[in-house]
Structure 1
Amino acid sequence: MAEHDDPPAGKMTPVVPRRFSGLHWVAALCAVAFVALAGLGGWMGYRLVDERRESAQQSRFVETARQGAINLTTIRHATVDEDIKRILDTSTGAFHDDFQKRAESFAEVVRQARSASHGSVTSAALESHEGDTAKVLVVMSVQMSSDEAPEQVPTVWRMRIGVQQSGDSARVSDVQFVS
């Protein structure tokens, strides 16, 4: 044979597949494990961020409902115009429009009775949540007084407050009294 180990014309030498050595198998297994762990870590990180965002939104809904309930139950004859403005500034939709229509007559009744009410939230909890809307149950203790009845026993009010997320802020969109 010549210097070259070329097979004679027309004959092919069989190609023998190279087998992975033990080191190759370990490297391949490590690469697969790394990709799997990186994928799992990415998925878990995404879920964590998503859960935190969801939790923050739910907290925002509950806090908006709490403040809305306080706004609705804390009204004084001396500050009724500011109190009404505060309610309108933190509401939206049909609730806002209905309250705005009745605001002047409501203010007049409060002024004539020289009444005052102060509400405090005793408990609040998210009832349901879908997308950018939520329903929050709120229990209030409301202390009322007027010239005719200066000291009254606090009453308990239960409300279901609808909240609508709009951009960075959430607003009261509905109020229903619950028995």
Structure 2
Amino acid sequence: MIDSIETRALAEEAEAEAAEALAEAARARAERLRAEAAEPQDKRRRLRRPGWSTVVAVLAVFVTAASLAASGYVTWHHREAMHRQQQSAEFEAAARQIAITLMSIDAAKAEESVKQILDSSTGQFHEEFKSASEDFVKLTQDGKVVTDVKVKAAAVESMTEDSATVLVTTTSTVTNAAGADKQPRAWRLSVDIVRDVGRLKMSKMEFVP
């Protein structure tokens, strides 16, 4: 926004200079015409020819104005692209960490896992998980569940200034009381991230094909 204002200001300044140059050219022409009226015919013809310097000066001012406007737009576009890249990287990093927090389970630290998940979430997901947290802890401890999760990739599907939907691909291995054999399994998660009081948190998560 600031770059756009600065660009308009520079363009307006250049246009003002062009207008001043045109006015100066008009005054010079008026003086030349008055001088021609008092000169012989052959000298008038000679006086009419000069004037290219004024035209060139005016054109130079307009070219400068156009160049400034184009340069300002390129600068603004570059900064906007950089800002969006930084935003995208920020949302992707948050989604990666949230996926690990959500899917990493250790029966010996079940209550701590619940706290981390609640701290990383907001909205409806937060409320629903909070209401089911006791059952989650009991199920994890009774089954002696331990999972190891690795994030393979994360990519923003859609994004605004304060929210994004991120697709996260993970693999996990599981051990439990039932004798799970640690065979790796692949998962794809669609994670909705929102900015909540300055922090990026998960507001929704679903497994996708």
CA distance in 2, matches of 1:111, 1:29: 80
Structure 1 residues 42, 103: closer, same or farther in 2, change over 3 A?
A: same
3-state SS of 2:124 partner: helix
Q: Relative contact order (C-alpha < 8 Å, sep 6+): which is higher?
A: 1
The residue aligned with 1:79 is 109
- 126-135 vs 17-26, which moves further: 17-26
Summarize deviations over 1:102-145 as a string: whole Å, max 9, x none: 11210111111121111111222222224422211112111111
Structure 2 gaps of 5+ residues are 1-28, 33-47
3-state SS of 2:77 partner: helix
CA distance in 2, matches of 1:38, 1:168: 37
How many Å apart are 1:176 and its aligned residue? 0.6
- Runs of 4+ off more than 6 Å: none
Q: Are 1:121 and 2:146 an aligned pair?
A: no
How many Å apart are 1:171 and its aligned residue? 1.2
The residue aligned with 1:36 is 66
Kindly indicate which of the two structures has a greater share of residues assigned to strand: 1
3-state SS of 2:170 partner: strand
Structure 1 gaps of 5+ residues are 1-15
The residue aligned with 1:99 is 129
Kindly indicate which of the two structures has a greater share of residues assigned to helix: 2
What is the Cα-based RMSD across aligned positions, in Å? 1.9
Of 99, 105, 110, which aligns to 1:69? Answer: 99
How many Å apart are 1:168 and its aligned residue? 3.9
* TM-score (structure 1 length as normaliser): 0.83
Aligned residues: 164
How many Å apart are 1:41 and its aligned residue? 1.2
* TM-score (structure 2 length as normaliser): 0.72
The residue aligned with 1:146 is 176
